[in-house]
Structure 1
Amino acid sequence: MKEEEEVILVTEKDEQIGTMPKMEAHEKAKLHRAFSVFIMNDKGETMLQQRAAQKYHSPLLWTNTCCSHQRVGETNIEAGRRRLQEEMGFKADLKELFSFIYKAPFDNGLTEHELDHVMMGYYHGVPKINPDEVADFKWMKPEDIQNDIAKNPHQYTIWFKIIFEKFYDHLIHNMNHESKG
């Protein structure tokens, strides 16, 4: 039906070295560029999404507000804003916080090996979720997410558990110094 998306293959310094179909990159565990968006509200809560049941990996697991892969010629912020609109049905200004590399194998034989650009924005409304991508959403305080991951790790995506720890550390160390835009 729709053409398979290409991912951008990169070096550990985030230098583009080519492209590859997304499934092939996940089958071969090739390092590629990705992004993760965290949306916060004015109550200090983070919007989580539950992945749709038909997703090819990690169905019905909870994860950050949205994540995906940049397209060739697209900035990290442009990619984050595009995917936020496609998955969650709203727009928000985003700020890139940090990036890091992780590698996470899935039960289905695929592996995520990503240089992930983590972004944050603010939104105070109700999302219009895309049912092809998202089953549900909820707002949670970061400390409640941390506690729930410890109690129920099987309910969260592999990458979210890795990314959230870094995001939470960033919040703790930097929120006192940042305005809420």
Structure 2
Amino acid sequence: MEELVVLVNPEDQVLGLMEKQQAHINGLLHRAFSVFIFNEKGEMLLQKRAEKKYHSPGKWTNAVCSHPRNGETYLEGAERRLNEELGIKAELSEKFYFIYKADVGGGLWEHELDHVFTGIYNSDFNLNVDEVEEIRFISLEDLETEMAKNPEEFTEWFKIILEEYKHNL
């Protein structure tokens, strides 16, 4: 099934739909969401993207990043992808949104109006191996140290979104 993204202007007014990979080739602004999941110790969940992903394979990123479908709210999309990728349900709350553009390599761009959600989760996961290679929890302090030492091991958008998260909370 062809996956479409919702193209928007900076005011989040819908301009149309486009196949996901084509939107990333063209660098067109589209709707997206990012989810940060924390455990009861305040550690952040990271996922390592599956090696078969068409961009940024094998890189660490936040719990979930994806795109709402046409007619789906940002929250509905975030909840859907938590289940599809990690096999979990968590109560999410939206924290902020912003626009960013990042070169993710291979002639692809993430240019997104990104709504950022957070949630708490302390139970078992049922990983979708087509999406996620592995997961781990990490303290924000250890994450910053690791990202400074090995920035190439993390997705470009995660670096941007994490900075926005720190500035907005």
The alignment's TM-score, normalised by the length of structure 2, stands at: 0.97
Aligned residue in 1 for 2:53 = 55
Whole-angstrom CA distance in 2 between matches of 1:6 and 1:117: 18
Q: Is the 8 A contact 1:104 1:111 kept in 2?
A: yes
Residue 84 (structure 1) aligned to one of 69, 82, 90: 82
Q: CA RMSD in A?
A: 0.9
Whole-angstrom CA distance in 1 between matches of 2:124 and 2:134: 12
Aligned-residue offset at 1:140:
0.5
Whole-angstrom CA distance in 1 between matches of 2:133 and 2:59: 9
Aligned-residue offset at 1:170:
3.4
Q: Indicate the SS of the match to 2:135.
A: strand
Whole-angstrom CA distance in 2 between matches of 1:14 and 1:104: 19
Name the one with the larger strand percent. 2
Whole-angstrom CA distance in 2 between matches of 1:145 and 1:166: 15
Aligned residue in 1 for 2:140 = 142
Whole-angstrom CA distance in 1 between matches of 2:45 and 2:17: 31
Whole-angstrom CA distance in 2 between matches of 1:18 and 1:167: 29
Residue 12 (structure 1) aligned to one of 10, 13, 27: 10
Q: Which residue type is aligned with residue 76 of structure 1? A: Y
Aligned residue in 2 for 1:94 = 92
Q: Indicate the SS of the match to 2:160.
A: helix
Whole-angstrom CA distance in 1 between matches of 2:146 and 2:168: 19
Aligned residue in 2 for 1:39 = 37
Runs of 4+ residues deviating >6 angstroms: none
Alpha-carbon displacement from aligned partner over 1:73-94 (angstroms, at most 9, x marks no partner): 1111111000000000000011
Q: Which residue type is aligned with residue 23 of structure 1? A: Q
Residue 23 (structure 1) aligned to one of 21, 24, 29: 21
Structure 2 unmatched ranges of 5 or more: none
Q: Which residue type is aligned with residue 32 of structure 2? A: A
Whole-angstrom CA distance in 1 between matches of 2:27 and 2:8: 12
Whole-angstrom CA distance in 2 between matches of 1:132 and 1:53: 8
Aligned-residue offset at 1:151:
1.0
Whole-angstrom CA distance in 1 between matches of 2:36 and 2:59: 16
Aligned residue in 1 for 2:67 = 69
Q: Is the 8 A contact 1:38 1:47 kept in 2?
A: yes
Structure 1 unmatched ranges of 5 or more: 172-181
Aligned residue in 1 for 2:106 = 108
Whole-angstrom CA distance in 1 between matches of 2:112 and 2:31: 6
Aligned residue in 1 for 2:158 = 160
Aligned-residue offset at 1:8:
0.3
Among the aligned pairs, what percent are the same residue?
53
Q: Is the 8 A contact 1:41 1:124 kept in 2?
A: yes
Q: Which residue type is aligned with residue 163 of structure 2? A: E
Aligned-residue offset at 1:146:
1.4
- Size of the alignment, in residue pairs? 169
